[in-house]
Each structure stands twice: as structure tokens, then as C-alpha cells.
Structure 1
Amino acid sequence: MTAAGEVLLRHVMSAEQRSLEQPSPGWPAGWHCAAVARVPDLAGALVRAAVLADRRAGASWAQIGAGLGISAEAARSRFGRTRSAEPAGGG
């Protein structure tokens, strides 16, 4: 779970740092939007990693659902087949 969290944190911090800088002519148009658009995917990887960690620790679907603010059925339906917290492509 730590790796997914670190990737998300590094990405957000990088986007935030660049947003504080003055744009230069070499920056691609739409860079900020493109950087922010990745956040939901990275956050999803972190959630999947958390679900896997909790399941390995013996948490029930009801407990996981409660932690996510959803029902046990919704949690099991959404994450029951989760095998890896890594996004496609390993990064």
C-alpha cells in the first residue's frame, strides 16, 4: 500500500510545485490539466491497495465497506476480484 501512496503523493506534489511556477514557453499546453487528470487513477490504486491490505489482515467486507462509506455488498462487488494494487503497466 505504501508504494501506491508514495506514487500519488509524488505526483500531487509535483503538480502543485509546477502550478506555483511561472509558465515558460517550453511547457506543453494543458500540462496542469493532464497532471491533475491522473489523480483519480492514482487514488484508485491506493484504495485498491488499502482494500487488499485490510482483506489480508482479516477485515470483513462490512468493515471495508464501512471504511469506504459504502455497503458490504458494494465493496465486495467493486473490489472482490482485486488482486493487485498496481495500475496497468506496473507504474
Structure 2
Amino acid sequence: MAVPELAPRRTFGGIVVVWVVAAVLAVVIGVFATPDWRAAWLGVGLGGCLILAFAAQLWSGRSQGFTERVAASIFGAVLVMGVISLGFGLAAVVPA
């Protein structure tokens, strides 16, 4: 018999934290990395978001839905970093 949780922690906060960190990393990489190395550094940043997603979801202490929460964190981080890198890519194409 499973014991119900008395006060479960909210899990959506851990997902959003990963998305915010992904956005900050994408902007920092877009500003400071050279255009030749930008894609490589975005991959490194996404790897950091993966580690952060695992840590944030392990910290929540809930085993139910662990893989779904990690997948949502990473999928959102990929989307956020992709949209921001698309913006930097378009900005590089348009003449100033």
C-alpha cells in the first residue's frame, strides 16, 4: 500500500528553472561566443541544462513522473535555446 504524500512539493518550478537557465545561457553564449563556435557552445550549454534538470528533479524527491519532468525540462530548454539562437542567426544575416 502506498502512503499518500501530505504536502507534495511543486514540480513545475524545477522545470521552469531549467528553462530560465537555458535562456540566460543562450543569450550569454550568443553575445560572447564567436559565430564559428556558437553552435558548439550551445551544445555545451544544453548539456549543462541536462545536468541541472536531473539535479532539480532529484531534489524534488518525487519518483512519480520523474522521466516526464526531466523530458519536459530538456524539451523546453531545447526550444528556448533554439529560438534565441535563431534570433542571433537572423541578426548575423541581416546587414547592419
TM bin (shorter chain): 0.3 to 0.5
Q: Which has the higher contact order (CA 8 A, sep 6+)?
A: 2
- TM (norm. structure 2) is 0.40
Name the structure where helix makes up a greater proportion of residues. 2
